[in-house]
Amino acid sequence: MNTAIAVTDLGKRFGAKWALQDCTFALPEGRVCGLVGANGAGKTTLLRLLCGLSRPSTGRVEVAGQAPHDSAQFLSEIGYLAQDIPLYRRWSVADHLRMGAHLNRRWDDRAAHDRLRALRIPLDQRVGTLSGGQRAQVALAMALAKRPRVLMLDEPVAALDPLARRNFLSTLADAVADGDLTVMLSSHLVTDLERVCDHLVVLADSRTVLADGLDEVLASHRLLTGARRDTTGVERDHTVLRIERTHRQVSMWVRLNGALHDPHWEVTELSLEEIMLAYLGLGADHGVEPVVDGVPA
């Protein structure tokens, strides 16, 4: 399987502050990857680095086999949808599609028209008068008509109502099903991620703390509960994300790095949301080694 995105020790500093640090992961081609993190965790910074809008301070990035740079050859391989969905508000939808046709070598005008017509978005209407959901669809149609190999979406559904959000994600899912498009999508809505993603990258405090397939993530995280006792054995063999102790009982949110030998623990499956919350709760001094593709780094 080819790698669509490979990131090694990536770091980005703005002045004295690191917006992203020690970021390492690889995303296989054809995956839809959810990028998760609290506000300010570095999601936007990472996406901008991936499409070459920003340059890394340290480390390496490779997207579709190239280091991001200002060339037509690279730019035609990527699609990017910025967080605030910038469009020319006074232009009609058709103007935007024409712009895309003029500025891109590969441009699937037919697909863009069909997609927007199916959504009943009037092509001759000014973009500024469309609803937020329709604008997001126009921007997505433009990004898809470029026929990119890697598509980066920065919180595309954050501002949309639930119905518009579902429509947007189903358009995206259809596009992914059509070909070998790789998508990286940042969001903090876990239900959306579960619907479309099959891979996850989690950023906490500007570092990658998890990067793995969705199924692997669900399979390897468990909640252990039991009577209060020594936990050093578990902490040595597995990655403990969070511990809660009461007088009688201990609860541990754990990533299992192998079989659990102690039969005294009661083992419960965790939902994706619970797993994400455990990771997002990790602070700067969490002491948890980042888990990248199942290998503690």
Partner 1 sequence: MTWFMWRQHRVQVMIAAALVVAFAVPVWITGRHLADLLQACRTGTTCGGIFQGYQGFNTVVDLTVIVPLLIGVFWGATIIGRELESGTATLAWTQSVTRRRWLISKLGVLFGFTLLCAGAVTGLVTWWSNTHNAIVETRFAGLQFDIQAIAPIGYALFASALGLAAGVLWGRALPAMATTIGGFVAVRLIVELWARPHYLEPITRILSFAKSDGIPNGASAISTEVTRYGHVVSGPMPAPAQCISATSRPEMNECMHRLGYAIRATYQPAGRFWTFQWIEFGIFAGLAAVLTAVGVIAVLRREG
Smallest distance from partner 1 to CB 103, Å: 4
Of 199, 95, 179, 180, residue with least CA distance to 142: 95
**Position 75 contacts partner 1 (CB under 8 A):** yes
60 binds partner 1 per the rule CB under 8 A: no
Q: Given candidates 31, 135, 146, 221, which one binds partner 1 under the rule CB under 8 A? A: 146
Binding mask 91-110 for partner 1 (x = CB under 8 A): x---x--xxx-xxxxx----
Task: Report which secondary-structure segment, H or E, holds 24.
Answer: strand 17-28
Choose, by CB under 8 A, the member of 2, 9, 13, 55 that binds partner 1: 55
3-state secondary structure at position 11:
strand
* Separation CA 223–CA 236 (nearest Å): 16
Q: Answer yes or no whether residue 239 interacts with partner 1 by CB under 8 A.
A: no
Closer Cβ to partner 1, 99 or 256, answer by number: 99
Which DSSP string corresponds to 51-85? TTSS--SEEEEEETTB---SSHHHHTTEEEE-TT-
Token code pair at residue 1? 């399987």
Q: Does 88 bind partner 1 (CB under 8 A)?
A: yes
How many of the chain's residues bind partner 1 (CB under 8 A)? Answer: 30
Contact 45, 19 (CB under 8 A): yes
53 versus 111: smaller Cβ distance to partner 1: 53
Question: What tokens appear for 69 in the block?
Answer: 């740079």
Q: What is the torsional sign of CA 178, 148, 44, 7?
A: positive
Instruction: Confirm or reject binding of residue 267 to partner 1 (CB under 8 A).
Output: no
Q: Kindly list the residues in this chain that would bind partner 1 in the complex (CB under 8 A).
A: 48, 51, 53-55, 70-72, 75-76, 78-80, 82, 84, 86-89, 91, 95, 98-100, 102-106, 146
